[in-house]
Chain A
């Protein structure tokens, strides 16, 4: 029996804005009158480390998505998509920003960063559908590279049981007014990318 309407796992690197995505979704769910819960990474893991956020829409249980339970995996960074792929259901969808952020283990020459096909091929074998996009470039087109997370939110918007109106309303509660236009543009570009 399903215990949650829609389970999301949002991953990336500290500083990329993972929490903003879940915050917008959570607020939109509240506006929609749906129960919602989530779990986020603070502290030690944020210092340039991997960050994972669980968000469960229409759920009254624990905030953690089980292994193999996520309907959507949103990855703001390609290696992180693969690192947390075990959370994604085989029938789920992965939305992946293809712009790599090299970890210090790579920049210092202690480890190698795999090529994009090396990341996407196992991911495609693991799940039903994988959308890969250069969300960072789309955000730049929208006028702010910082809005990469909002591009990914736009791409995600069609896969969650919340209306676009409510998501945009929630976005305007979270983003400072002067950045709202660029963010709305970023949202639309992300949404168009998966349509």
Chain B
């Protein structure tokens, strides 16, 4: 049967077809829909699906399950692997029980990310095999294969889709869902489960020794395909293989083509290509992982072969597209390039950047924060919807999950004397902010930490977290109190406010600013998208005749507020938060009469 599936849904399908017993992950674009799909399929299968608190936790939970003999997977975005790097590197030594798959979705071009690191480097670094799918169908097949390979070689396997695979859709051939293995049991085996130095040394030797065997086994994997034709060749990895195949067909040239989908690289296939051609271009997104190996192999096999790649025509940043690949191939074979079309009138268009929603409580919190702390204060921020408020002047830094608090501490200890008020979301706080808050308390950082608590993981699609009292599968669970956590972690002043109540919020910020130690303000108001979906429809607001056109409300930046004929106007996007009414200088904004 074929189904039109999102890449991530195809991966989820692969997990079910492989009989996975546990899936754990932390949301992050472009990986989030994998767990959402698995969680939404109500099978009678005895399996455990969870949103973990962060990626390190997810991978460790998955490893534990694998060690009981159940197939397990951890999902994350590429930067999540940085968080999970600690267990990732050592799990390569310790190995698995049943298959363990790390699904790490890369984001070339930073569509929704703070960097575009190439996870194939991580796999290489750890000595862990990596599967790099070109499309949803391959992603599904690789998911199933990854478990088998993991078990065969006693090692975790990385599946590395990119945005254009995870968020592609395709007609995917689906197979039967398999039942997870029987209930697991942990078998004690200190030499393989306890990474003492005396155990780690022989395990490292073992890891190095199995590289050659893994490479040999991957040579014949179906996603490494060599077609020898003319004496000009293309070596392409992942989705670049599809661009290259399409370009060869469009150009109607008899080119040799090697498509690559797994690492360690198939050296024999590469050697055969290098023996056959006089010129070859290596096409891959981001890092020259394949290209470096091709160069090394060529030195032994055929030093005279001309190798084109990153230095000539394939960018090392951003994502590739069809025309880039087509033109790089055209240049190599002396055919004319095809220019991208331009529509000159595009310059008349207004920009349409993503922005905080109408009525988003983050805007209100930032407004109050800035009013109290002023222009000169330092505002470290974090990863989430609120980073989009960079234009409000309250986002001075964004580094990685939870870094707002630690950067704020470092900025204080570095000697900064201005007020320092950092901010991060509830999910980000629970993911990577708690240790930073503890550190700030322990080391006496005089800063204010604002937790923008909208009771969900909004940016990635409203996933639940420990503060929501709901699990990934919709079951009720302990609802962790962020206020109690902040107190327990050592903050001296902790206050929870309703950011829609501007006066109260500003008073709280003032107390925090004046406080002599570490203060925490929790600005709590549900995400407007989530509130609307749950049926909440507060009365909207309008601008009355009293408006004097001062534009104070306009500067607030809510997309529901427009300016027309020298007066403000509230449009249909209004979600009824009422904050603009509070900041209006002429009391012209009021609730629409019922």
Contact = CB atoms under 8 A, between A and B. Distances in A.
22 contacts: A3-B250, A26-B4, A26-B169, A34-B171, A35-B171, A36-B171, A37-B170, A39-B164, A39-B168, A43-B459, A62-B243, A63-B168, A68-B340, A79-B352, A103-B350, A105-B351, A105-B353, A107-B562, A107-B563, A108-B554, A108-B563, A112-B350
B295 interface: no
Nearest to A26: B4
B385 interface: yes
Interface string B538-560: 00000000000001001001010
B46 to A, nearest CB: 30
Nearest to B341: A68
Interface in A72-130: 79-80, 82-83, 85-88, 90, 102-109, 111-114, 118-119, 121-123, 126
Contacts, number: 179
Given A27-B4, A30-B4, A62-B242, A104 B557 contact: yes
Interface stretch (A47-55, A156-164, A181-189): A47-55
Contacts of A29: 4, 171
A66 B348 contact: no
A44 B164 contact: no
Given A13-B352, A37-B169, A44-B354, A122 B345 contact: yes
Contacts of A50: 352
B323 A66 contact: yes
A69 B326 CA distance: 13
A47 B355 contact: yes
Nearest to A121: B345
Interface of B: 2-4, 6, 29-30, 33, 111-112, 135, 164, 167-171, 239, 242-243, 245-246, 249-250, 252, 321-323, 326, 338, 340-346, 348-357, 385, 388, 459-461, 551, 554, 557, 559, 561-563, 571
Contacts of B385: 47
Contacts of B551: 109
Contacts of B461: 42
Contact of A64 (B322, B352, B563): B322
A147 to B, nearest CB: 17
Given A35-B171, A42-B112, A63-B170, A23 B4 contact: yes
Nearest to A54: B168
Contacts of A136: none
Contacts of B239: 62
Contacts of A45: 111-112, 354
- The residue among B246, B250, B460, B561 with the most chain A CB atoms within 10 A of its own CB is B246
A91 to B, nearest CB: 12
Contacts of B340: 67-68, 86
B258 to A, nearest CB: 17
Contact of A82 (B249, B252, B349): B349
Contacts of B112: 42-45
Nearest to A14: B354
A22 to B, nearest CB: 7
A190 interface: no
B134 to A, nearest CB: 8
Given A46-B354, A64-B321, A105-B352, A30 B3 contact: yes
Contacts of B326: 66
B559 A63 contact: no
Interface in A1-57: 1, 3, 13-14, 22-23, 26-27, 29-30, 34-50
A64 B557 contact: no
Contacts of A14: 354
